[in-house]
Amino acid sequence: MNGSLAANAVLLTGIRSGLGEAGCDVAVCVPAPYLAQCRDALGGSPVRWGGQDLSLHEAGAYTGEVSAAMLLDFGSRYVIVGHSERRTYHAETDAIVAAKATRALSAGLLPIVCVGETLQQREQGETAATVARQLGAVLAALSAEQAARIVVAYEPVWAIGTGKTATPDMAQEVHALLRAQLKEKGAAVADGVPILYGGSMKPDNAVELLAMPDIDGGLIGGAALKASDFLSIIRAC
């Protein structure tokens, strides 16, 4: 829940003007009120855009909700589902996340499906079981063809804004588990689904993280609010 029209204008102009030949997929996922600004600022550029959440419902009496069709109306390509903050603060269950991913795909959006463990779960040795449960709920709701069109993002919740850090090897270990789980859905799924790292990727650690074999990109938090930092990470990709 960041941004303003003025701050966004500076950020989006900076990203677009500094991007050059990206050589990788780049997108920004923004609060719904700013989708029109993204469309106007980024249209015709290599940068895509999308929402931070979507409704379970197609339309109707759901005050305050944002539907997939509304996101598409503004040219959105992506939508984040199951972000750790949605799971924590809005009590989103694995079943809700799976239903949102299905809704997004049915509408033609690409869902960025977030999974990750808390500090308590990590300290209790529950990392593998937690991420497997979270991703498994989504994969169980999808056909192999649908599953091949998602993006997965691993968020070690314990490493976000806590001062604790996950080493590249620690991140790779979980990404490898996720890749193996995707492979159970089919080789095309495992090979085609990007797995992003969402544990405070920054310019000073991006190169090392992205060197890992199963880390395909980043779900960038605070570093994406400054064009120069975001561009540095894009160059690392």
Q: Looking at 83, 92, 117, 175, which residue is catalytic?
A: 83
Q: Six-digit token pair at 130?
A: 């937690």
Helices and strands (H and E) in the chain: how many: 12, 7
Q: Are 148 and 189 in contact (CB under 8 A)?
A: yes
Q: Are 27 and 234 in contact (CB under 8 A)?
A: no
Q: Looking at 92, 117, 155, 175, which residue is catalytic?
A: 155
Phi, psi angle pair for 220, to nearest 5°: -90, 135
The distance in angstroms from the start CA to the end CA of the chain is 26
Q: Are 84 and 114 in contact (CB under 8 A)?
A: yes
Identify whether 83 is a catalytic site residue.
Answer: yes
Residues 224, 36: Cα–Cα separation, whole Å: 19
| Contact residues for 167 (Cβ-Cβ < 8 A; gap 6+) | none
Torsion of CA 123, 140, 193, 36, to 10 degrees: -100
Identify whether 175 is a catalytic site residue.
Answer: no
* Identity of the residue numbered 139: L
Residues 129, 53: Cα–Cα separation, whole Å: 25
- Residues with a catalytic annotation lie at 83, 155
